């Protein structure tokens, strides 16, 4: 039974699940857009939005919290502080967008989605 269980396990132990979402968040912040499964994208959205809201405060305490939540990835924390937080200074939440894709992953038939940062200047590919 799953009474009062609020998180999905993604068939992983807690440490692996945390590492998975820290890595997904770092990739999203670094590239601005990633393709993943719909379930992971929906779980990643509040995690990343809380990080951006924390970066908007621009205090030493929020920088230390970011480094802690990103497991010491200072490069991504610096990018959040210097590049991404100023982009969203006038926006009160809603920093990410999820697009459902019509295709499914071949191995396990999982629904795919793209999660991206709103108003992010993407590089030409």
pLDDT at 113: 97
Q: Do the domain assignments include residue 47? A: yes
Is the pLDDT score of 15 beyond 70?
yes
Q: Do the domain assignments include residue 9? A: no
Assess contact for 95 and 108: CB atoms under 8 A. no
Q: Do the domain assignments include residue 125? A: no
Mean pLDDT across the stretch 1-6? 85
pLDDT at 61: 97
Is the pLDDT score of 21 beyond 60?
yes
Is the pLDDT score of 119 beyond 60?
yes
Mean pLDDT across the stretch 54-69? 96
Structure tokens at 101: 């894709």
CA distance 70 to 77: 7
49 is in which domain, residue-wise?
Answer: 15-117
Is the pLDDT score of 125 beyond 70?
no
pLDDT at 69: 96
What confidence category does residue 108 fall into, taking pLDDT thresholds of 50, 70 and 90? very high
Side-chain-side CA neighbours of residue 9 (13 Å) = 5
Q: Do the domain assignments include residue 23? A: yes
Q: Do the domain assignments include residue 22? A: yes
Mean pLDDT across the stretch 13-33? 95
Is the pLDDT score of 83 beyond 70?
yes
Q: Where are the beta strands (DSSP E) in 28-95?
A: 33-37
DSSP 79: H
Assess contact for 120 and 32: CB atoms under 8 A. yes
CA distance 11 to 24: 16
Number of domains in the chain: 1
Q: Do the domain assignments include residue 3? A: no
Mean pLDDT across the stretch 15-40? 96
Q: Do the domain assignments include residue 7? A: no
CATH of the domain at 31: 3.90.1030.10
Mean pLDDT across the stretch 18-34? 96
Q: Do the domain assignments include residue 82? A: yes
């Amino acid at each position: 039974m799953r009474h009062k269980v609020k998180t999905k396990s993604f068939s992983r132990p807690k440490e692996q699940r945390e590492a998975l979402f820290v890595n997904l968040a770092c990739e999203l912040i670094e590239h601005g857009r990633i393709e993943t499964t719909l379930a992971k994208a929906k779980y990643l959205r509040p995690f990343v939005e809380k990080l951006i809201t924390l970066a908007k405060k621009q205090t030493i305490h929020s920088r230390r919290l970011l480094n802690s939540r990103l497991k010491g990835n200072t490069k991504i924390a610096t990018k959040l502080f210097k590049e991404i937080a100023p982009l969203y200074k006038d926006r009160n939440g809603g920093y990410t967008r999820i697009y459902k894709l019509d295709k499914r992953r071949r191995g396990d038939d999982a629904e795919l989605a793209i999660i991206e940062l709103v108003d992010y200047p993407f590089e030409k590919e």
